């Protein structure tokens, strides 16, 4: 997959005029697309309504197997191109801007300077290492580069050991040893904070790290993996101290400037060079980039953008403001009241004000009960009920999928990421039309042309039929189950509120969180509901032990 992508960049392999895009509002975050594609370009994105999926267009190998996931959130974008946010800048303008960059300093003179370059496979880590080695040669220095790729290929951890000496005679071994690194250039935070990297770090090591988390291959087998960077940064800070640690959201910045996250590693390299942490001249590095011969213009630009980030953060922000933004989604609610308010609006749009009022009345009831049972405590149960009752009450039937495609947000997100003349194909398994892949299996998805958008507009206006006598879609077993779960969840919460005390609050909250497990569509959802029921019985059994046992 990584090799296909490399060859496409060099125009030596067919490049289909097709991209895959996920409508995050329709995505349930069930992970079926990840399971069927095993592709690290299908990445998690945390939203107000839970963890969803997105496609990293920069690393996508156009295998399209992710579309096999049983979910109507996938669309094919035919024609057009990925939006290049930084294309608003003219070459002459950038040339003048980069001329203002001062000549960077160099590290304290040492016989041999040791650099550990970390990243993930398929993102250009080895290219940066090779350019550094060639630049050392052009500076008439000795160098060795040893790449530790293992079985990484695409998505696994990669380390390069780079040693630069005033004379080749000073180099006796290419591999670094415990505590020997002078600089760790961390293009990936997870790999940088791993044991194999930290073994080479000492309190005197300087670390420059990308604070944006890029999900590695581990995410494919663990959907719930935590992606918060703070813990990893704390580990690094604890070893070298804050003065020796520099972190910046390099992936976000490089993607906004260049329209391609693959440029992140060279951006990081430019940042470290300008900080005076690399014993190589700018002239030799730029010449090495030209000799490499791949994407020369873009690589030189992003290298100098990295230098600008190190030299003049205000100037960088000025240019970032001209680039536009990748995603204008609302931030996740930080307070309970904000969470409830947004879900009341969501349920009003989903059905009507009366439906939202039913939700709000029940949440108020839970809030009152928890306030009395846990005086002065955090309203954890209320927050969970507010989140997950809304989830159950806004199950994604045909009317809701249609609404989420036609309410304007989908087109807005699409145009944020793509430009030019493009058309859409919807990848769906419509009831009645779709046939199973095999007897008893899930329905086969089919590609439907852009005309489907007009059908979806009509469908969205028919949401008032939901649950009524004329709701032909509501008669299926899946829809009956979804309606049943709403009532059962309310009954479940009412039954455990009577047992709520400070000692039982934790387990009652876990019970209230159970609908988090109910994700996906069709058979995927059925399987998750089975797991939900089993976990519910376990937690109820735990709660039945009583407050004294739980407190102990």
Size of the chain in residues: 552
Phi, psi of 372 (to 5 degrees): -75, -35
pLDDT band, residue 149 (cuts 50/70/90): confident
509 pLDDT more than 60: yes
What's the confidence (pLDDT) of residue 85?
62
What's the confidence (pLDDT) of residue 222?
62
* Residue 137, both tokens: 């040669």
* Residue 508, both tokens: 């009652």
* Residue 75, both tokens: 């669309």
327 pLDDT more than 60: no
Q: What is the mean pLDDT of residues 12-31?
A: 92
Q: What is the mean pLDDT of residues 111-138?
A: 92
pLDDT in tens, 153-191: 556 788 999 999 998 989 989 999 999 999 999 999 989
199 pLDDT more than 80: yes
Residues 463 and 531: their CA atoms lie apart, in Å, by 30
Q: HSE-up of 237 (CA within 13 Å, CB side)? A: 10
Nearest to 206 by CA among 241, 234, 171, 178: 241
DSSP string, 55-101: E-TTT--S--GGGGSS-TTEEEEEEEEE--GGGGS-HHHHHHHHHTS
Alpha-helix residue ranges (DSSP H) falling in 326-394: 336-350, 353-373, 380-393
Phi-psi region of 186 (alpha: psi -120 to 50; beta: other; left: phi over 0): beta
The enclosing H or E element of 424 equals: strand 418-428
Mean confidence (pLDDT) of the chain: 90
**Cross-strand partners of 53:** 44
Q: HSE-up of 316 (CA within 13 Å, CB side)? A: 22
What's the confidence (pLDDT) of residue 78?
95
**Cross-strand partners of 184:** 116, 207
Percent of the chain whose pLDDT exceeds 90: 65
pLDDT in tens, 383-441: 999 999 999 999 999 999 999 999 999 999 898 888 889 999 999 988 767 676 666 66
The enclosing H or E element of 163 equals: strand 157-165
pLDDT band, residue 216 (cuts 50/70/90): low
Residues 397 and 465: their CA atoms lie apart, in Å, by 12
pLDDT in tens, 37-53: 888 788 888 889 988 99
Q: Is the Cβ–Cβ distance between 157 and 196 less than 8 Å? A: yes
Q: HSE-up of 311 (CA within 13 Å, CB side)? A: 21
220 pLDDT more than 90: no
Higher pLDDT, 222 or 244: 244
547 pLDDT more than 80: no
The enclosing H or E element of 157 equals: strand 157-165
> Which span out of 86-95, 117-126, 138-147 was modeled with the highest average pLDDT?
138-147
Residues 52 and 67: their CA atoms lie apart, in Å, by 15
Degrees to nearest 5, angle at CA 398 with 412 and 391? 75
470 pLDDT more than 80: yes
Give the chain's end-to-end CA distance (angstroms, integer): 53
Strands (E), 3-73: 18-22, 42-47, 50-55
What's the confidence (pLDDT) of residue 2?
67
Q: Is the Cβ–Cβ distance between 76 and 526 less than 8 Å? A: no
**Residue 10: count of CB within 10 angstroms of its CB:** 10
Q: What is the mean pLDDT of residues 69-84?
A: 90
Check: pTM over 0.85? Answer yes or no. no
What's the confidence (pLDDT) of residue 440?
62
Residues 269 and 263: their CA atoms lie apart, in Å, by 10
Higher pLDDT, 472 or 179: 179
């Amino acid at each position: 997959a990584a090799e296909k992508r490399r060859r496409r960049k060099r125009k030596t392999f067919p490049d289909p005029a097709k991209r895959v895009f996920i409508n995050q509002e329709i995505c349930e975050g069930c992970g079926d697309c990840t399971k069927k594609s095993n592709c690290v370009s299908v990445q998690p994105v945390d939203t107000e309504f839970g963890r969803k999926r997105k496609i990293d267009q920069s690393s996508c190998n156009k295998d399209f197997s992710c579309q096999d996931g049983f979910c109507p959130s996938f669309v094919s974008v035919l024609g057009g191109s990925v939006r290049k946010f930084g294309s608003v800048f003219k070459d002459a303008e950038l040339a003048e801007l980069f001329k203002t960059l001062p000549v960077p300093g160099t590290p304290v003179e040492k016989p041999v300077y040791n650099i550990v370059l970390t990243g993930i496979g398929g993102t250009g880590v080895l290219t940066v290492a090779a350019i550094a080695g060639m630049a050392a040669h052009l500076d008439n220095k000795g160098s060795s580069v040893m790449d530790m790729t293992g079985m990484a290929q695409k998505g696994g951890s990669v380390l390069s050991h780079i040693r630069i000496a005033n004379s080749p005679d000073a180099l006796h071994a290419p591999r670094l040893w415990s505590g020997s690194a002078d600089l760790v250039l961390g293009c990936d935070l997870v790999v940088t904070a791993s044991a194999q990297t930290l073994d080479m770090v000492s309190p005197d090591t300087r670390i420059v790290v990308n604070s944006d988390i890029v999900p590695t291959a581990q995410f494919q087998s663990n959907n719930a993996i935590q992606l918060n960077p703070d813990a990893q940064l704390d580990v690094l800070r604890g070893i070298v101290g804050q003065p020796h640690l520099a972190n910046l959201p390099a992936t976000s910045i490089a993607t906004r400037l260049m329209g391609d996250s693959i440029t992140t590693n060279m951006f990081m390299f430019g940042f470290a060079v300008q900080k005076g942490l690399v014993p190589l001249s700018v002239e030799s590095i730029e010449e090495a980039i030209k000799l490499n011969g791949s994407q020369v213009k873009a690589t030189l630009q992003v290298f100098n953008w990295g230098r600008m980030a190190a030299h003049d953060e205000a100037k960088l922000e000025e240019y970032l403001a001209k680039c536009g933004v990748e995603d204008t989604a609302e931030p996740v609610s930080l307070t309970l009241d904000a969470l409830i308010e947004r879900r009341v609006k969501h349920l009003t749009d989903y059905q009507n004000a009366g439906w939202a009022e039913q939700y709000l009345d029940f949440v108020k009831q839970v809030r009152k009960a928890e306030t009395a049972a846990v005086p002065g405590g955090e309203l954890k149960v209320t927050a969970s009920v507010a989140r997950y009752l809304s989830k159950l009450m806004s199950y994604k039937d045909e009317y809701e999928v249609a609404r989420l495609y036609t309410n304007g947000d989908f087109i807005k997100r699409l145009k944020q990421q793509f430009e030019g003349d493009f058309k859409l194909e919807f990848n769906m398994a419509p009831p009645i039309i779709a046939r199973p892949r095999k007897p008893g299996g899930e329905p086969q998805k089919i590609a439907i042309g852009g005309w489907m958008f007009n059908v979806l507009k009509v469908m969205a206006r028919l949401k008032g039929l939901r649950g009524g006598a004329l709701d032909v879609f509501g008669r299926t077993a899946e829809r009956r189950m979804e309606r049943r779960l709403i009532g059962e969840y309310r009954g479940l919460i009412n039954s455990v509120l009577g047992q709520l005390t400070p000692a039982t609050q934790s387990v009652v909250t876990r019970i209230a969180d159970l609908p988090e497990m109910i994700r996906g569509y069709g058979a995927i959802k059925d399987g998750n509901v089975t797991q939900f029921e089993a976990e519910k019985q376990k937690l109820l059994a735990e709660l039945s032990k009583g407050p004294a046992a739980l407190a102990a």
